[in-house]
Amino acid sequence: MYRLITGIAGPSGFGSASTAEQVTQGIDASNLTAIITGGASGIGLETARVLALRNANVIIGARNLEAANEAKQLILKDNNNARVHVLKLDLASLKSVKTFADNFIDLNLPLNILINNAGIMFCPYQLSEDGIEMQFATNHLGHFYLTNLLLDKMKETAKSTGIEGRIVNLSSIAHIHTYEKGIAFDKINEKRSYDDKKAYGQSKLANLLHANELSQRLQAEGVNITVNSVHPGLIMTNLFKYSGVLMKILKFCTSILWKNVPQGAATTCYVALHPSLKGVSGKYFVDCNEFKPSRFARDKVLAKKLWDFSIKLVNAA
Ligand SMILES: NC(=O)c1ccc[n+]([C@@H]2O[C@H](COP(=O)([O-])OP(=O)(O)OC[C@H]3O[C@@H](n4cnc5c(N)ncnc54)[C@H](OP(=O)(O)O)[C@@H]3O)[C@@H](O)[C@H]2O)c1
């Protein structure tokens, strides 16, 4: 908390005040291709801008193509050498996730970095196209399926180039506020017990568990790909659209704890690009430093159970 408020750097040399440009200063990503989901706004857009600034080839996955093309133009305005492409992706539809992955594979590009960034928060109860509670479907299941569909491409790229692949899941400190058993497997779609805050926390816990389980599986296979999770900090973005007034009041009272968007994208960019994290996998980062997540997030049995559960949901859909 002291470091968050003061911005004093942690062991990594960076802290809550560091920006995405600062943590990637001097890094040449010209031989890297990265996918960023939800890269049309907020933290995802800043991540896309800074990765492109470091010369990475960036693919923005977005459900709103108009917004994504505007985001692309914004990036190009200040950096006309930026390599940015836009592909349609609706994470709340497994069919759309599959089409996105197929379209990406058809581009015949390598894939070094996958940033599972898109998300929604605190929406009223609703079901996705596949009949799954919307926050779990968008934040976790869509990303789970997408990652699995792109994994062979990432493995191929890591093997043929010798460059470590990196997967970054955008989790949140909110992962600590979840249902009683962490993931409510038997009530995942239950309307009666739905709590918009806990459902968000559950989906962010799922992002962490997914990263940890995948990291373990890839390590066991001897694959040169790391998987980590991040909490970007508190940043006023469109994410707060379902809790606007409440959060604006909260922000007013707790302004010292909030970051701007360039600071909000720092941890993602640090984990995706920084050479000091070579070989570091299955970890959780806050303010560009490793952080201990909740007891549920460290539960390997829960992570395995979520993996099997997610596979079943995808197969059923
Ligand atoms: N901001 C914070 O304080 C904070 C704190 C902790 C964690 N996070 C995490 O950081 C990530 C980025 O959030 P943000 O603050 O940058 O919010 P944001 O500005 O609302 O960005 C979220 C992005 O996700 C996209 N998205 C939502 N549903 C989608 C779907 N079904 N398919 C494809 N894209 C979809 C949004 O697209 P549309 O514009 O079409 O909705 C938007 O581009 C999220 O995972 C969030 O949980 C944020």
Q: pLDDT digit string (tens) for 167-187? A: 999 999 999 999 999 999 999
Q: What is the mean pLDDT of residues 30-41?
A: 98
Distances (CA, A) of 138 to 119, 224, 295: 6, 27, 24
Average pLDDT, the chain: 95
pLDDT in tens, 60-72: 999 999 999 999 9
Structure token pair of residue 245: 């007034």
| Confidence tier at 244 by pLDDT (50, 70, 90) | low
Which residues, in sequence order, are CB contacts of 280 under 8 Å at separation 6+?
Answer: 226, 228, 290
Ligand 1 pocket mutation pick from 229, 239, 261 by most atoms within 8 angstroms of CB: 239
**What percent of the chain has a predicted confidence (pLDDT) above 90?**
90
pLDDT value, residue 60: 98
* Residue 68 Cα: closest atom of ligand 1: 43
For ligand 1, mutation pick of 208, 237, 240, 241 (most atoms within 8 Å of CB): 237
Model pLDDT, residue 192: 96
Is the pLDDT assigned to residue 48 strictly greater than 80? yes
pLDDT surpasses 90 at 220: yes
- Residue 71's identity, in one-letter code, is A
Distance 192 CA to ligand 1 centre (A): 26
Of all protein residues, the one whose alpha carbon is nearest to atom 8 of ligand 1 is 172
Contact, 133 vs 125, CB < 8 A?
yes
Name the token pair of 63: 């459900």
Ligand 1 contacts (CB < 6 A) are 37-38, 40-44, 62-64, 67, 89-92, 117-121, 138, 170, 172, 231-232, 234-235, 237-239
Taking CA atoms, 4 is separated from 8, 46, 172, 244, in Å, by 7, 20, 15, 23
Number of domains in the chain: 1
Residue 272 has pLDDT above 90, yes or no: yes
Q: Tokens for 304?
A: 């395995």
Spacing, Cα 117 to ligand 1 middle (Å): 7
* C-alpha dihedral sign at 43, 45, 50, 51: positive
Take atom 47 of ligand 1 and give the residue whose Cα is closest: 119
Burial 124-151 (b: 16+ CB within 10 A, else e): eeeebebebbbbbbbbbbbbbbbbebbb
Question: Which residues, listed in sequence order, are joined to residue 87 by a DSSP beta bridge?
Answer: 61
β-partners of residue 169 are 116, 229
3-class secondary structure, 101: helix
User: How far is the centre of ligand 1, averaged over its atoms, from the C-alpha of 220 (Å)?
Assistant: 31
Q: Is residue 200 annotated as part of the catalytic site, yes or no?
A: no
- Long-range CB pairs of 146-149, under 8 A, 24+ apart, other chains included: 146/37, 146/61, 146/89, 146/91, 146/97, 146/100, 146/101, 146/114, 146/116, 147/114, 147/116, 147/210, 147/214, 148/314, 149/97, 149/98, 149/101
Which pLDDT does position 249 carry in this prediction?
A: 79
What is the phi/psi pair of residue 279, to 5°?
80, -5
Could you identify the residue written with the tokens 């606007």? 244
Report pLDDT for 2. 67
- Residue that is written with structure tokens 């996998």 in the block: 281
Q: What is the DSSP string of 57-96?
A: EEEEEES-HHHHHHHHHHHHHH-TT-EEEEEE--TT-HHH
Percentage helix, strand, coil, to 5, in the chain? 50, 15, 35
Tens digit of pLDDT for each residue in 104-141?
A: 999 999 999 999 999 999 999 999 999 999 999 999 99
CA distance 227 to 307: 15
Q: What is the pLDDT of residue 50?
A: 98
Average pLDDT over residues 15-33: 97
Using CA atoms, how far apart are residues 202 and 219, in angstroms rounded to an integer? 26
Tell me which of 96-100, 223-227, 236-240 is least confident. Answer: 236-240
Token reading at 232: 């970007």
Residues with Cβ < 8 Å from 219, sequence gap 6 or more? 281, 282
Beta strand pairing status for 234-235 and 113-116?
unpaired
Domain residues for the domain of 212 are 2-316
* CATH code assigned at 28: 3.40.50.720
Q: What is residue 181's predicted lDDT score, i.e. its pLDDT?
A: 95
